[in-house]
Chains A and B, each alone.
Chain A
Amino acid sequence: MSLRDNPLGELRVPLTWTAGIVFVVVLIASVAILLSDRREAFDTDEYGNPRTMTDKVMAPVGDALSTPGRLTGQGVEGVRGYFFAVSENRRLKAELENARQWRDVAIALRDTNERYRQILGLKTDPPIPMATARIVTDSRGPFANSRLANVGREAGVHPGNPVMSENGLVGRVVGVTDGASRVLMLTDVASRTPVMIDRTNARAILTGDGGPNPKLDYLRGVNAVKSGDRVLTSGDGGVFPRGLPVGVAVKGLDGRWRVVLASDKAAVDYVRILLFEDFTQIVNRAALDKAQVPPPTPGASTLPPPAPPAPKLQAPAAATSAPPPPAAATSTPPPRTATPPAKAAATPAPKAPVAKAPATKTPAPKARAEPE
C-alpha cells in the first residue's frame, strides 16, 4: 500500500507543535534523570554505570590529549631552569639553611614524641599505602569541581580515599573504575571536609562553594581562628586521616573565614591517592558490640570514688585495662623520677603521664616557631 493510499497519509501535524511536544517530553525525562541521581553516596554502584563507563573512556583520551601540553610545560620549565640556574641555586641554598634548623627541631620533637608515646602506651597509626596518579581531565566551574585520575580499581583505590598533591589535600575519590578515579575537589560545592585549626584544635567543616577558597563552617569556640592559622584534617568521621595539611585560614571579603588551599601553590598534575581505611571499616563491629566495657581505672581523679563492690573487680581490671601505664612506668624510670618523684610513687601510675602531657605539649609550638 503506497503512502497516498494510506488514510493516515494525508494527516499533517504542524512541526512547531510536534517539536514543542518533544521538547516537553525531553525536559520531563531530564528532570526525572536529575531527581534519580544520587551523587552523594560513596558507592560505585550508586556512582552509576554511565559515569564509570565515561570515566573509563575519558581517562586515556584525556591522557593522550594532555600529553603535548605536559611535554611543552616540561620543556619550558627546562629552559627556564637553565637560564635561571644561578638565582635558583641561591634560593635553594637559603632554603636548605632554613631546612637544617627545622631538621634539628624535628629530630628533637620526634625523640620527645616517641618517649611520650612509650610512656602513655599509645598505639600510633600504621603507615598508609598510596597510589600515584596523573590528573587527565579537570572541571573547574562553579557547579562542579572534579578531576579524573588515571589510576583506578586495579591499584586498590576505593571511593572515599583521600587525594593529596605534593603540597596538601586535594579532595577525595567519589567514583572508581578500571584505570580511572573521579576525584571530588575540596572546592566542589558538594564537598564537606572535617578540619581543625592547628593552633587551637578548634573543629570546623570545610565547605566548598565552587570558588578557589572554601569556607570554614560550623567553627566552634571563641576566637578559635586567626588569619594565617594552619588548617589540617581533623580525622572526625573517619573519611580522612588526622593531620593532613589543608591550607591557611584567611578572612574572606564576605567576612567569613576561608582557607587558601595548600594544594593551590602549584598545578595539581600528579597526585597521591591514600589507600586509607578508617578503623570503623576494618573492625568487626558485631564483636565490638559484644565486648564487655572495662571497669573504671582505680584511683583516676576524674571518676567518682569506687563503689563498695568495685574493689572486688579491681584485680581483673588491672589485668585488662591498666597494664600499659604501669609497664611504661617500670620500663622508663629515669624521666619520670626526674620530674614528680614523690607523686609517682604515691599515686597510681596513669595520673603522672596524663598530668604531664599538657605541660609538655605547650613548649612544642615555641620550639617550632624559633627558626622563623
Chain B
Amino acid sequence: MTAGGARPLAPWRWLGLPMLAVMAATILFALPMRFYGYGLPEPIFALPVAFAWAVIRPSMLGPVCVMLLGLFLDLLWGAPTGFWAVCLLLPYGIVLGGRTMLQGQSQLMMIIWYAAATILTIGAGYLLTMLDTQSSPDPLSVFWQFLATIVLYPFANQLIERFEDADVRFR
C-alpha cells in the first residue's frame, strides 16, 4: 500500500477538470439571455484557473492548457486567434515567476496578486486591441469585465486550497 501523500498529482484532476468546467461556464454565459432587459456579464472564467495553476506548481502542461483555453475563448467569442492565449499567458508567466513570493501569503495579499493578474490580462487585451483596430475600447466596458472577473477569486482560492499540498514535491 502506498501513502496517499506520496502519490503524484494526476494532471487530469488539477488541469483537465477545471479546464472543462471553465469551458462549460463560458459557453453558458455566452448564451443570448437577458434578465430584466440586461444581458449577462462576460467574466473571464479562464483567469482564476490560470492563476491557480501557476500558484499550485510549475508544470509543463500548465502553459499548454492556458493556451488551449485562450484559443477556445478566441473561437467562441470571435476575437482574433491567439488574442486571449497571449492575454492569459502573460499573467500566468508573471505569477509562475513570483511563485516563491506567494507561498504562505495572507488571503489579502493573494487577492491583490489576483487583482494585479486581472489588470495585466485586461491591460494586455486593451493594448492588443488598440494595436489591431487603431482605436481604443470603451473604458467603462473594460471596467465591467474587470469587475466581473475579480469576483471570481473564490474559485481560484478553492483550486489552490485543494491542490497546493496535493503533490509532496511542491509543498
> Which A residues are closer than 8 A to B by beta carbons?
15-16, 18-20, 22-23, 26-27, 29-37, 39, 48, 50-51, 54, 58, 61-62, 65-66, 69, 73, 135-147, 174, 182, 184, 189-190, 207, 209-212, 267-269
* B31 A30 Cβ-Cβ under 8 A: no
* B75 A19 Cβ-Cβ under 8 A: no
The reply on B28 being an interface residue by CB < 8 A is yes
Taking CB atoms, residues of chain B closer than 8 Å to A33 are 71, 81-82, 85
* A30 B86 Cβ-Cβ under 8 A: yes
Interchain pairs with CB closer than 8 A, number: 162
* B42 A26 Cβ-Cβ under 8 A: no
Least Cβ–Cβ distance between B49 and chain A, in angstroms: 16
The reply on B21 being an interface residue by CB < 8 A is no
Q: Chain B contact residues: over half helix, strand or loop, or mixed? A: helix
* A143 B125 Cβ-Cβ under 8 A: yes
Q: A19-B58, A209-B137 are in contact. Are A137 and B76 (CB under 8 A)?
A: yes
* B89 A62 Cβ-Cβ under 8 A: no
* A142 B76 Cβ-Cβ under 8 A: no
Complex: A20 Cα to B62 Cα, angstroms? 10
* A23 B80 Cβ-Cβ under 8 A: no
Taking CB atoms, residues of chain B closer than 8 Å to A142 are 125-126, 129, 137-138, 141-142, 144-145
Please tell me which one of the listed residues B39, B42, B63 contacts residue A27 in the complex, with CB atoms under 8 A apart: B63
Least Cβ–Cβ distance between A256 and chain B, in angstroms: 11
Taking CB atoms, residues of chain A closer than 8 Å to B30 are 62, 137-139
Q: Mark B4-37, 1 if CB is under 8 A from A, else 0.
A: 0000000000000000000000011011111001
Least Cβ–Cβ distance between A305 and chain B, in angstroms: 48
* A34 B85 Cβ-Cβ under 8 A: yes
Name the CB-closest residue of A to B128: A34
Please tell me which one of the listed residues A34, A147, A190 contacts residue B81 in the complex, with CB atoms under 8 A apart: A34
Least Cβ–Cβ distance between B62 and chain A, in angstroms: 7
Taking CB atoms, residues of chain B closer than 8 Å to A27 are 63, 86, 89-90, 93
